């Protein structure tokens, strides 16, 4: 992906264009696209700003951290872009951990279900023998 300049807003335009193209082509979302949708929801939850887009939330966060209180300029856009990738990495770690936990729980449920099914089959055989 080439953005032309390091800017969270440019990245946002690229992502919106990509999502729009997928919609127009009637293509189903891929796994990584679904993860990105969850990332955007996670950002909204983290920053409690449902009325802002994901890139605007990051810009707001970075501008609050900016001690000089500068107007939004290219350096702020670049800082926000760097912050975006940090947040994306943080989310990816959380997402993988959650996925692993869910996988462990599902495996346990599958094992317990298999044992229960085996017991039901054994019980039904015992009942059939008794008759």
| 12-66 per-position pLDDT tens digit | 888 888 888 888 999 887 777 777 888 888 887 877 766 667 777 777 666 665 5
Provide the domain count of the chain: 1
First CA to last CA distance, the chain: 71
Decide if 50 is inside a domain: yes
Burial grade of 70 (CB within 10 A; 0-12, 13-18, 19 or more): exposed
Calculate mean pLDDT across residues 99-125: 79
Decide if 92 is inside a domain: yes
Decide if 62 is inside a domain: yes
Which range, of 41-45, 91-95, 127-131, averages the lowest pLDDT? 127-131
Rounded Cα distance, 14 and 20, in Å: 10
Mean pLDDT rounded to a whole number for the chain: 78
Decide if 38 is inside a domain: yes
How many helices (DSSP H) and strands (DSSP E) are in the chain?
Answer: 4, 0
Decide if 35 is inside a domain: yes
Q: Evaluate whether 8 touches 1 at the Cβ level (below 8 Å).
A: no
User: What pLDDT does 60 receive?
Assistant: 66
Decide if 129 is inside a domain: no
Q: Record the pTM.
A: 0.60
Decide if 30 is inside a domain: yes
Q: Which domain holds residue 69?
A: 8-100
């Amino acid at each position: 992906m080439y953005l032309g300049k390091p800017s969270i807003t440019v990245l946002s335009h690229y992502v919106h264009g990509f999502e729009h193209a997928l919609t127009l082509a009637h293509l189903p979302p891929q796994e990584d696209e679904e993860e990105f949708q969850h990332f955007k929801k996670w950002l909204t939850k983290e920053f409690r700003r449902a009325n802002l887009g994901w890139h605007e939330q990051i810009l707001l966060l970075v501008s609050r951290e900016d001690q000089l209180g500068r107007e939004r300029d290219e350096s702020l856009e670049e800082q926000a872009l760097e912050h975006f990738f940090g947040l994306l990495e943080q989310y990816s770690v959380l997402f993988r951990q959650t996925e692993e936990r869910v996988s462990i729980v599902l495996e346990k449920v599958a094992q317990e279900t298999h044992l229960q099914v085996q017991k039901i089959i054994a019980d039904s055989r015992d009942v059939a023998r008794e008759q």
